[in-house]
Structure 1
Amino acid sequence: MTEPPVGRRERKKAATRQAIADAALRLFLERGYDQVSIRDIADAADVSTTTVFKHFTGKEALVFDQEQDRESQLIAAVRQRAAGQSILDALRQHVLDSWLPITAHPQMAEFTHLVDSTPALRAYAERMWTRHTDSLSAAIADELGVDHDNLACVTLARFVLEVPALARGQRDRRAAVDAIFDILTQGWQPPTKSSAPRSA
């Protein structure tokens, strides 16, 4: 089934949003998060401050401009998985397909430093993380026909969302993602000295 073509208005709206987000990230990386105002971002993107707020709720949302899409993609990975595919295998493939390309972005290290060194962004990321856990665990629970507060579903969602952070420092990130999902699938086993992964 093909999706209907995106209209010109929607394309223009998406392009404006992307231009604002790109300008914001460039300024944040150049000057530091606290030294950049919404007016600075609007000027750099050649839009009004009103336009900025039409697309984003605030400065923090400008840094994490794709998180809403990522959340919906996580849920879709669970709900729209192939027939016969397990929830864990679907989430494993989603992480490999969506997160690994991000780690190769040339600005990834700068972005991570920006978030880690800015208290407001760290706090926003933590709130966002909690929301993702709730949404993903609810999707998993729905697939299994159990209550949304089911501890097993909440725990699985939280561990899956931690996979990128756990794999980020490993030399072979793909192998690390697979190893973590193997633990989630098969259960934890005490590692031997030769099998312990090394950090980069």
Structure 2
Amino acid sequence: MSAVDGKPGLRERKKQRTHAAISDAAITLFLEHGFNQVTVAQVAEAAEVSKRTLFAYFPAKEDLVVHRLADHETELARVVRARPQGTTPLRAVREHFLRGLHDRDPITGLNDHPQVRRVHRMILDAPTLVARMDRFKAGAERALAQALQETADTPELTARLAAVQIVAVHWALAQDNADRLAYGESADGRSAGALADAEHAFDLLENGLRQLTPQ
């Protein structure tokens, strides 16, 4: 059945439910037993699907975790493309990150929901998940570089170098916050420090790292 009035049809809704059921079963098992200790077959059994069906939705075991961040891979690129006229790409990214801190967006690392903390620790404890996150980071760099080229008329090399730096700063800030929260610090307790660190980091970017050299 096709979509009606912009709403997904019956077949699409069934696929969405299956996707969610597999994901929920996987996260539950991984958090209870550990990512490396749970097999794909166990996830399929818990979700009441075949292994073949599971792999149709999630090509690799790591995708069962990382897919929850999939929309964020191109997030900075979308922010740059959607920025108001007259706003520089870096200013748009900066304001977006600061807004995320205020809203306790998990992608900023400043979210102390118990499951968010546990998922972060799980990723750190699984080398294959850490490697998968590195691929995620590289994808974010490519997407942002393309957005800079297309919307700011930035030369290709400049766009690539800028994207690497911006994504790295975004990543480092979020990682610092998540690490602190994963091991007990509260989001409210970390908030002022996270904000100060973000302002400092983006100041460094905006000034071309000149602040590293004493005046």
Q: How far did 1:77 drift?
A: 0.9
The question of 1:107 aligning with 2:111 is answered: no
Contact 1:75 1:139 in 2 (8 A): yes
Question: What letter corresponds to residue 55 of structure 2 in structure 1?
Answer: F
Matched pairs, number:
187
**Pairwise CA RMSD:** 2.5
Structure with more helix by fraction: 2
**Identity across the alignment (%):** 33
The question of 1:42 aligning with 2:44 is answered: yes
Distance in 2 (CA, whole Å) between partners of 1:34 and 1:18 is 21
2:139 is aligned to: 131
The question of 1:69 aligning with 2:66 is answered: no
2:183 is aligned to: none
2:156 is paired with a residue whose SS is coil
Question: What letter corresponds to residue 7 of structure 1 in structure 2?
Answer: P
Unaligned runs of 5+ in 1: 191-200
Q: How far did 1:186 drift?
A: 4.2
The question of 1:171 aligning with 2:190 is answered: yes
Q: How far did 1:175 drift?
A: 4.1
1:162 is aligned to: 172
Distance in 2 (CA, whole Å) between partners of 1:41 and 1:21 is 9
Question: What letter corresponds to residue 61 of structure 2 in structure 1?
Answer: K
2:8 is aligned to: 7
Structure 1 61/89 Cα, relative in aligned 2: closer, same or farther at 3 Å?
Answer: same
Q: Deviations over 1:75-123 (max 9, x none)?
A: 2111112222221232123334556332233212211211111111112
Give the counterpart of 2:152 among 132, 135, 144. Answer: 144
Give the counterpart of 2:26 among 16, 24, 42. Answer: 24
Q: Deviations over 1:56-85 (max 9, x none)?
A: 111111111123211233221111122222
1:183 is aligned to: 204
Decide which moves more: 168-177 or 115-124: 168-177
Structure 1 41/13 Cα, relative in aligned 2: closer, same or farther at 3 Å?
Answer: same
Unaligned runs of 5+ in 2: 181-188
Q: How far did 1:159 drift?
A: 2.4
Decide which moves more: 89-98 or 53-62: 89-98
1:196 is aligned to: none
Q: Deviations over 1:126-145 (max 9, x none)?
A: 22222222222222232221
Q: Comparing both chains, which one has the higher relative contact order based on Cα–Cα distances under 8 Å and sequence gaps of 6 or more?
A: 2
1:87-106 to structure 2, matched below 5 A, reads 87-98=89-100, 100-102=104-106, 103-106=111-114
Structure 1 12/49 Cα, relative in aligned 2: closer, same or farther at 3 Å?
Answer: same
Distance in 2 (CA, whole Å) between partners of 1:148 and 1:122 is 28
Distance in 2 (CA, whole Å) between partners of 1:94 and 1:20 is 31
Distance in 2 (CA, whole Å) between partners of 1:126 and 1:116 is 12
Q: TM-score, normalised by structure 2?
A: 0.74
